[in-house]
Structures are given as structure tokens and as C-alpha cells.
């Protein structure tokens, strides 16, 4: 795009102090728009010192230094602002919607209103190398006066262009953060890290604060064709552009970096197009590792073929020693069979718990973290049986420690039952769930799973021989009594099993948690407390 024809026709010529002089553009744009000037009537020019020969896109390939001329663009670059540091945080449109373009509240009547993010986004777009950017943004500004929602209409061609320019600038900023390569030099004031970089857009001023935040404890300079940035550990200074030969030609660490680059590459996965999409060739000449790329690509096929073809060799000499020292039990059936020797019955709860660790009686072990076995003294008089462990129990490996466990604990406390003296377990000892994103939704164990796990409950009952078992909910009742029981109807009752064990029926404490209505919830909790008081009496009796 060439701005020259416009110059001749334009009624207004605006000279900007630099190629990304947002403050200058903003001031002029506000004035002109309020005067009702059309976009075509304005010629935007960047002041002579910031001439177009310095545009990154039109840079001469050789002898870059010569074309630049001797005058300093840079001192003028930060614009009309009296504080020249780009670290000042930028000119923001403020938090209100809409925001006034000049950012000064008192002069609302004389200001233009624009959506709050326009100012911020235009500040990025103005860094784009397209010579028409000033005029384009001005046109957008005028359109926004009549179409306040314009920025939300993603299908509008102007918005498409605006977004594309914004994206190009952001990408360039990102790539500069990625591909700047510092080289170390010794100076009088210690060491300094210097980089040569060729951006596609006018982004150095906007990007320099990033390097300050990251390399605060270093002295560094980034040189580009149109602008340079220097950090001495305390202040950021912008200076004139330079040339590649102004930066050091080598750095001792690059040999190590190339060694790393070469070895982290897997020749069996060659995908040079994917590489180039993210690291286009235009960057290669300033990347010390890029010189290796052709040879790595050329040798990849050979290297990969060799890996595939090479026959497996005999084990390394030290392997046998390592095996006998660290894995001596291996011949006795392998180390992984936690199930070996399990399920033969046990003399103590502790033994039984170890056996249950490797339980594969039903498929629930596959998705759960661990078996959550019962807990409590072997001489407990009462044995509580819940349904199955939940999310928290599965992680902790202990029964009734999650939200329902907290309700259970509190109610036992009020009923003056010491949980430490009771034995607490579940009918099913692995957590059954459905994954939903980053959550697990409790799933009810089926009859087969309850049946499979009953073996463990029987063992627990056999070792503990409690006076009373408490079935918390229908699954527990099913497991303890071998048949489906309507617990809400029969709660508070005691049933006697054939073996003489008395089973007290009540609800599962999670039932209380699921009630939304506060009064109902409180009433249900009170009923559960009554049940626990009954349990207390039954224990004594």
C-alpha cells in the first residue's frame, strides 16, 4: 500500500513522532473526528526521522546499517508524553464503558466516546507495519460513533481486518519473546547480554517491559533495525536502531545449546512442516540452533531406520547385578501380585486389610484409587456399614472422611457415641463413579458388586463379632441382610439375622446432604440423631 497519492489530496496532514506513536494518533484523531473530518481527508505521516526505510518489512537485506541515517528517531519515539519511559503503563481508556478517547473525565462534553476495549486494542494495532494503519483506525473510530457494538460483530470485514492486525502484532510480540537470543559480552561495568532481532512490526517499545520483568537482574540490550532497548538493571532506555554487526557474533554457550537441540530431537518423528509453521524460516538466521536443521532433517530417515532395524541386544553387563540387588523377590511370582495369598481368611483385621488391598473380586478396582477398608478396634461393640467410599474416602483410604462422614461424626458426637470405639466400614470397598470433567459422580453399586464385596464384610463381622450392626442406607441393608429392604419405611427397627446378629436400620447420612430445603434437612438430621441415640441405647442394652 502506498500513501503517496493521498498526500496530494489530503486536507489534513498529521505528523506522528514514530511508527507506533499512539498518543500522537489519539490526540489528532480525537480532534479531527470531533470536527467531522472524513478518513480520506487525512494524510498520516511518520516524521522524517522515523522514515519508511526503517520499516522492518522494507529493510534492505544487506548493509542494513547504511540506510538508517544518522538522526535519532528514538528520543522522539515515546511521543509527546513528558515521561518518556514506556514502563509508565501505557495510556488506558479507563474502566468505564464507554470510555472517553482522551481519558480525561472532566471534559466529557468535548470528548469522543468509544467502547472501553477499543483504546487498548488500537494501541496494539498501531504497532502493525501496514502503512494504512493510522487511517484504518481513524475509520474504525468514526464507525464506532454510529455503531457502538461494532467490535462485537466478528463477521464485519473491518473487524476481521482489525482482529487480523491485532493478532499479527500479538504473534510478533510473542515470537520476539521466544526468539530473541542474547550473547554475553564483558564490559567495564561487568557482563552484558546483547541480542539482535528483526521484528515484523513496530513492537519493541511495547515488548521491552516484558524483558525488564524477566531479566531484571541482568544488563542487556536488544538491537533491532528501527529501535534498540537497553536495560542497566535500573532503567530502560530506548535508542536508535542498529545492525546485526553491532551485536556480538558468538557466545560460548551456543555450542551447549546446539548440543541440546540436536539431542532433544527425535528423528523417528520427523515433521519439518509443523516446525516451520511455528518457527518460520525468516527467524532462522538469528537463531544459533537453526544451522543444524538441514543436517538433522537429512539424517533423520537414516537415523530412524537404524533405530527400527537394530536388533535387540543382550542385556547390559550391570543389569543382572541391579536386578539381584534391588528386586530379589522377582522369581517368586512377580512383585505385582498384591492379590497373591489374598482371600484366604485372616486372623486379624490388620491382616485382612492387607489382603483386601489387591482385591479383584469385582471390576471396581480398575477405576478406584485403592481399597477403602473398615476402621476401628477389633473389640468394637457396634459396627457401622455404609454404602461405598466416596471421592474423599478414595483419596484418603479411610471410610467416612468426606462430607457425609462429617455429618456422621457430628451426629455421633451429639448422640454421645465415641466413633473411636466403633468399627466403621462400607458394603462395597471400592469407589464406583462416572468421571465428569474434573469431578467424579457417585454411581450406585449394583447387586453383583455388593454380593462380591460381601465376602469382606462377612470376614470383618466374623473377626469383630459386634453386638450390633448398623445399616446406613439400602446398600448396607442389602449386604447385611441379603435382601432389599425399604429403609426409609423400616428405619429405627432392628432385624435379627439367622446367625443372631442384630441389624439396626437407618438412612445413609449423605441422604441428609442431598436435601435442599433447610427445614426438611434439619428435620431429617434430627431423625438421624434420634436413630443414633437408639443405637447408643441398644449398645448399652
Partner 1 sequence: MATLSTREKLAILSDAAKYDASCASSGAEKRNSAKTGGIGSTEGMGICHSYAPDGRCISLLKILLTNFCIYDCSYCINRSSSNVRRARFGVDEVVRLTMEFYRRNYIEGLFLSSGVIRSPDETMGELVEVARRLREEENFAGYIHLKTIPECSDDLVEKAGRYADRLSINIEMPTDEGLNALAPEKRPDTIRLSMASLRRKLEDFAEPTLKTKRTRRFATGGQSTQMIVGADAASDDTILATSARLYGSYRLKRVYYSAFSPIPDSSSALPSKKPPLMREHRLYQADWLMRFYGFQQKEILSGAPDGMLDLAVDPKLAWALRNRARFPLDVNRAPRELLLRVPGLGTKAVDRIVQTRRHRRLRLEDVGRLTASVAQVRPFIVAEGWSPGRLTDDARLRERLAPVPRQLALL
Enumerate residues 247-276 that contact partner 1 by CB under 8 A. Answer: 251, 253, 255-257, 259-275
Phi, psi of 348 (to 5 degrees): -135, 165
DSSP-derived secondary structure letter, 445: P
293 binds partner 1 (CB under 8 A): yes
How, if at all, do strands 236-240 and 382-386 pair?
Answer: unpaired
Residues 220-239 that bind partner 1 (CB under 8 A): 233
Residue 434 contacts residue 348 (beta carbons within 8 Å): no
Considering CB under 8 A, how many residues would be counted as binding partner 1?
A: 98
**DSSP-based three-state secondary structure for 229:** strand
**Residue from 133, 181, 429, 432 in contact with partner 1 (CB under 8 A):** 181
> How far apart are alpha carbons 65 and 61 in whole angstroms?
10
**Residue from 32, 55, 77, 300 in contact with partner 1 (CB under 8 A):** 300
Residue 240 contacts residue 223 (beta carbons within 8 Å): no
> How far apart are alpha carbons 338 and 329 in whole angstroms?
13
- Please say which residue, 334 or 482, places its beta carbon nearer to partner 1: 334
- Please say which residue, 111 or 369, places its beta carbon nearer to partner 1: 369
**Residue from 3, 67, 91, 212 in contact with partner 1 (CB under 8 A):** 212
433 binds partner 1 (CB under 8 A): yes
**Residue from 61, 326, 483, 489 in contact with partner 1 (CB under 8 A):** 326
363 binds partner 1 (CB under 8 A): no
Which range of residues in 21-29, 106-114, 295-303, 530-538 is near partner 1 by CB under 8 A? Answer: 295-303
**Residue from 5, 70, 95, 157 in contact with partner 1 (CB under 8 A):** 157
- Please say which residue, 67 or 395, places its beta carbon nearer to partner 1: 395
**DSSP-based three-state secondary structure for 275:** helix
- Please say which residue, 44 or 261, places its beta carbon nearer to partner 1: 261
Helices 133-146, 22-34: crossing angle, 10 deg rounding: 40
Shortest distance, CB of residue 401 to partner 1, whole angstroms? 11
| DSSP structure string for 361-389 | SSGGGGTSSS----BS-TT-SEEEEES--
- H-helix or E-strand spanning residue 8: helix 4-9
Residues 476-535 that bind partner 1 (CB under 8 A): none
Residues 372-401 that bind partner 1 (CB under 8 A): 394-397
- Please say which residue, 213 or 483, places its beta carbon nearer to partner 1: 213
Residues 88-147 that bind partner 1 (CB under 8 A): none
307 binds partner 1 (CB under 8 A): yes
Residue 400 contacts residue 412 (beta carbons within 8 Å): no
Cis peptide before 98 (omega within 30 of 0): yes
**DSSP-based three-state secondary structure for 446:** coil
Report the b/e string of 30-39 with b at 16+ CB within 10 A: bebbeeebeb
Residues 343-362 that bind partner 1 (CB under 8 A): 357-358
Q: Is the dihedral of CA 117, 122, 123, 129 positive or negative?
A: positive
- Please say which residue, 5 or 435, places its beta carbon nearer to partner 1: 435
- Please say which residue, 95 or 217, places its beta carbon nearer to partner 1: 217
305 binds partner 1 (CB under 8 A): yes
- Please say which residue, 175 or 491, places its beta carbon nearer to partner 1: 175
**Residue from 25, 182, 202, 373 in contact with partner 1 (CB under 8 A):** 182
How wide is the angle at C-alpha 389 spanned by C-alphas 384 and 391, nearest 5°? 145
**Residue from 438, 483, 489, 516 in contact with partner 1 (CB under 8 A):** 438
Which region holds residue 311: left if phi is over 0, alpha if psi is between -120 and 50, else beta?
beta
Residue 505 contacts residue 490 (beta carbons within 8 Å): yes
- Please say which residue, 255 or 379, places its beta carbon nearer to partner 1: 255
Shortest distance, CB of residue 397 to partner 1, whole angstroms? 8
Amino acid at each position: 500500500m502506498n500513501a503517496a497519492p493521498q498526500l496530494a489530496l489530503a486536507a489534513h496532514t498529521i505528523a506522528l513522532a514514530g511508527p507506533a506513536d499512539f498518543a500522537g494518533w489519539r490526540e489528532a484523531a480525537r480532534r479531527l473526528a470531533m470536527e467531522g473530518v472524513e478518513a480520506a481527508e487525512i494524510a498520516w505521516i511518520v516524521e522524517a526521522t522515523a522514515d519508511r526505510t526503517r520499516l522492518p518489512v522494507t529493510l534492505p537485506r544487506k548493509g542494513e546499517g547504511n540506510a538508517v541515517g544518522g538522526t535519532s528517531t528514538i528520543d522522539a519515539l515515546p511521543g509527546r508524553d513528558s515521561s518518556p519511559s514506556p514502563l509508565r503503563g501505557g495510556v488506558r481508556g479507563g474502566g468505564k464503558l464507554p470510555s472517553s478517547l482522551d481519558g480525561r473525565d472532566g471534559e466529557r462534553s468535548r470528548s469522543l466516546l468509544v467502547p472501553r476495549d477499543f483504546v487498548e486494542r488500537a494501541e496494539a494495532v498501531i504497532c502493525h507495519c501496514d502503512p494504512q494503519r493510522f487511517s484504518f483506525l481513524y475509520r474504525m473510530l468514526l464507525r464506532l460513533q454510529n455503531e457502538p457494538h461494532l467490535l462485537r460483530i466478528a463477521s464485519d470485514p473491518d473487524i476481521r481486518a482489525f482482529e487480523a492486525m491485532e493478532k499479527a502484532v500479538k504473534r510478533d510480540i510473542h515470537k520476539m519473546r521466544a526468539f530473541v537470543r542474547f550473547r554475553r559480552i564483558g564490559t567495564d561495568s561487568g557482563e552484558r547480554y546483547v541480542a539482535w532481532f528483526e521484528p515484523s512490526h513496530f513492537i519493541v517499545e511495547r515488548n521491552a517491559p516484558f524483558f525488564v520483568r524477566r531479566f531484571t537482574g541482568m544488563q542487556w540490550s536488544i538491537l533491532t533495525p528501527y529501535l534498540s532497548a537497553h536495560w542497566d538493571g535500573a532503567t530502560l532506555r530506548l535508542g536508535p536502531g542498529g545492525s546485526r554487526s553491532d551485536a556480538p557474533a558468538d557466545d560460548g554457550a551456543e555450542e551447549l545449546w546446539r548440543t541440546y537441540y540436536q539431542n532433544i530431537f527425535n528423528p523417528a518423528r520427523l515433521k519439518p512442516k509443523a516446525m516451520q509453521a511455528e518457527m518460520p524460516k525468516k527467524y532462522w538466521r538469528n537463531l544459533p540452533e537453526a544451522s543444524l536443521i538441514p543436517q538433522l532433517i537429512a539424517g533423520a530417515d537414516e537415523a530412524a531406520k537404524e533405530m527400527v532395524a537394530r536388533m535387540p541386544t543382550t542385556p547390559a553387563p550391570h543389569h543382572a547385578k541391579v536386578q539381584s540387588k534391588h528386586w530379589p523377590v522377582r522369581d517368586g511370582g512377580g512383585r505385582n501380585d498384591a492379590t497373591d495369598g489374598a482371600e484366604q481368611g485372616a486372623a486379624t483385621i490388620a491382616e485382612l486389610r492387607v489382603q483386601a488391598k489387591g482385591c479383584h473380586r469385582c471390576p471396581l478396582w480398575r477405576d478406584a484409587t485403592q481399597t477403602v477398608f473398615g476402621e476401628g478396634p477389633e473389640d468394637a461393640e457396634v459396627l457401622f456399614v455404609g454404602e461405598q467410599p466416596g471421592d474423599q474416602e478414595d483419596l484418603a483410604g479411610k471410610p467416612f472422611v468426606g462430607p457425609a462422614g462429617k455429618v456422621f461424626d457430628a451426629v455421633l458426637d451429639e448422640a454421645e457415641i465415641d466413633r473411636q470405639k466403633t468399627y466403621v466400614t462400607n458394603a462395597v470397598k471400592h469407589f464406583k463413579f462416572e468421571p465428569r470433567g474434573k469431578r467424579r459422580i457417585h454411581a450406585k453399586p449394583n447387586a453383583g458388586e455388593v454380593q462380591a464385596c460381601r465376602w469382606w464384610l462377612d470376614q470383618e463381622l466374623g473377626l469383630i463379632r459386634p453386638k450390633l450392626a448398623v445399616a446406613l442406607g439400602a446398600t448396607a441393608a442389602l449386604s447385611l441382610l441379603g435382601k432389599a429392604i425399604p429403609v426409609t419405611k423400616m428405619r429405627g427397627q432392628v432385624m435379627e439375622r439367622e446367625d443372631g446378629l442384630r441389624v439396626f436400620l437407618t438412612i445413609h447420612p449423605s441422604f441428609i446432604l442431598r436435601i435442599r430445603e433447610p427445614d426438611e434437612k434439619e428435620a431429617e438430621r434430627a431423625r438421624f440423631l434420634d436413630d443414633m441415640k437408639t443405637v447408643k441405647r441398644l449398645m448399652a442394652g
